[in-house]
């Protein structure tokens, strides 16, 4: 089949061809970028935090009229209150282990600083940014962190201090990602570092495989896996407890936590938000990403459906318009399949032109999004897949009207319209 008569025919209804090609181009441009956004969000949401998330929950509470924590006596008082809470929670039948902690991955409340290889560096300078988790000797088992080198904290390591106290810990466990950044040779264990521009040294005693920072905003992108664990109970007017329930006993353990804490000390605030499963923390943290992915998915579906329907509509019209010509071709010996191929080929030509324009538009739209909205560069594979999809969509949409065209009987040629 030669393209020449087809192109000659297309030139007779330029406007319709231009509109269909434009529609395909715009669809391709938007769908490519939208699917790229969906892919990125899915990737973000599915990255593991490094925690064993099942059976894990968090209790956040605040004491009423608690001591200020500005003098040693009141810090000790706060710490004994926290220890009483820990003892109460650890004695619950459905609880496997409990660790006091200032935050958790995905919780969006964080304490961040810097790690330096030299003492007295600026807080902002340092060799790497990190987030800090302050906890005790049960932190690894409670969170389900995977120790890959060195040792865990022991009860003897654990200190306590007021939240605004700036003393750094003498030993830490850090994530492998942070250790590798500081010591690219992989010999971080036992090395000395300086936290937050401090002059006092800190020794790395253990490495965990992976642990995410609490923040999920784009501002944490530069240090998502840089976490440092300190064997320190922080004393403030509030406290948080990460609790691992015994397998399958999450609901029961969550239910028992509030009464146990009230029994220890009723002068505290515990409300509906105070006891949260990690699954809920995760869902809340990624709500915006999941929402964006759903929205983009819906838009893509509508776009593809509208474009397919548009092709069906316009091709049907062209088939109707060329009823007589089809009859003539059939009378002159063209087979049904020739007519079918003609319309399929015609659609392929239009869709290809649209796809080429769409490719340029997709890249243009991506550049626009990159410039204004912190998007990444669109990988070529998305555009290529997109082109295949719109071409297939065009072929699928054109099939029904094209088959109707192929069924036009040759006798039509002899009839007046």
* CB closer to another protein, 108 vs 141: 108
* CB closer to another protein, 154 vs 414: 414
What is the nearest approach in angstroms of another protein to the Cβ of residue 97? 27
What is the nearest approach in angstroms of another protein to the Cβ of residue 417? 8
Per DSSP, the residues of 13-43 read GHHHHHHHHHHHHHHHHHHHHHHHHHHHHHH
What is the nearest approach in angstroms of another protein to the Cβ of residue 217? 9
Helix residue spans in 144-188 (DSSP H)? 176-182
Nearest Cα to 172, choosing from 210, 229, 120, 213? 229
* CB closer to another protein, 23 vs 142: 23
What is the nearest approach in angstroms of another protein to the Cβ of residue 335? 27
In this structure, what DSSP letter does residue 376 have? P
* CB closer to another protein, 250 vs 296: 296
Sign of CA dihedral 223, 225, 229, 233: positive
Count of residues making up the chain: 417
What is the nearest approach in angstroms of another protein to the Cβ of residue 208? 25
Q: Which residue has the tokens 């002068």?
A: 267
* Beta carbons of 187 and 232 less than 8 angstroms apart: no
Q: Which residue has the tokens 């204004």?
A: 372
Q: What is the Cα–Cα distance from 148 to 129, expressed in whole angstroms?
A: 21
Q: What is the Cα–Cα distance from 254 to 60, expressed in whole angstroms?
A: 12
* CB closer to another protein, 143 vs 365: 365
Strands 227-230 and 128-134, by their bridges, are: parallel
What is the nearest approach in angstroms of another protein to the Cβ of residue 65? 3
- Write phi, then psi, for 100 (nearest 5 degrees): -70, 140
What is the nearest approach in angstroms of another protein to the Cβ of residue 237? 7
* CB closer to another protein, 248 vs 259: 259
Strands 227-230 and 171-175, by their bridges, are: antiparallel
Q: What is the Cα–Cα distance from 203 to 38, expressed in whole angstroms?
A: 42
- Three-state SS at 268: strand
């Amino acid at each position: 089949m030669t393209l020449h008569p087809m192109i000659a025919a297309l030139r007779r209804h330029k406007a319709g061809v231009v509109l269909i090609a434009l529609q395909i181009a715009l669809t391709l441009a938007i769908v490519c970028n939208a699917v790229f956004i969906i892919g990125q969000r899915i990737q973000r949401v599915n990255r593991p935090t490094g925690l064993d998330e099942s059976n894990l929950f968090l209790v956040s509470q605040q004491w009423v009229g608690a001591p200020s924590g500005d003098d040693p006596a009141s810090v000790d008082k706060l710490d004994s209150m926290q220890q009483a809470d820990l003892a109460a929670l650890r004695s619950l039948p459905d609880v496997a282990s409990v660790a006091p902690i200032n935050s958790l991955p995905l919780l969006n409340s964080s304490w961040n600083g810097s790690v330096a290889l030299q003492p007295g560096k600026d807080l902002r300078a340092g060799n790497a940014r990190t987030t800090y988790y302050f906890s005790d000797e049960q932190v690894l088992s409670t969170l389900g962190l995977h120790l890959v080198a060195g040792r865990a904290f022991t009860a003897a390591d654990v200190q306590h201090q007021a939240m605004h106290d700036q003393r750094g810990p003498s030993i830490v466990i850090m994530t492998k990602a942070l250790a590798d950044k500081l010591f690219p040779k992989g010999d971080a264990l036992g090395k000395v570092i300086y936290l937050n521009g401090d002059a006092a040294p800190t020794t790395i005693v253990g490495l965990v495989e992976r642990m995410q920072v609490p923040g999920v905003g784009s501002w944490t992108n530069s240090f998502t896996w840089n976490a440092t664990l300190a064997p320190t109970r922080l004393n403030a007017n509030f406290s948080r407890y990460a609790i691992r329930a015994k397998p399958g006993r999450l609901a029961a353990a969550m239910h028992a936590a509030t009464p146990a804490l009230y029994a220890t000390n009723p002068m505290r605030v515990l409300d509906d938000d105070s006891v949260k499963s990690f699954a809920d923390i995760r869902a809340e943290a990624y709500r915006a990403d999941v929402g964006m992915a759903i929205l983009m998915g819906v838009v893509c579906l509508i776009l593809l459906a509208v474009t397919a329907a548009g092709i069906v509509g316009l091709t049907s019209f062209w088939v109707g318009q060329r009823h007589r010509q089809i009859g003539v071709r059939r009378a002159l010996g063209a087979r049904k399949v020739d007519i079918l191929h003609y319309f399929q080929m015609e659609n392929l030509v239009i869709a290809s032109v649209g796809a080429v324009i769409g490719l340029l538009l997709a890249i243009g739209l991506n550049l626009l999004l990159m410039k204004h909205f912190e998007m990444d560069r669109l990988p070529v594979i998305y555009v290529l897949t997109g082109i295949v999809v719109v071409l297939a969509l065009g072929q699928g949409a054109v099939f029904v009207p094209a088959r109707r065209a192929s069924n036009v009987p040759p006798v039509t040629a002899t009839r007046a319209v």
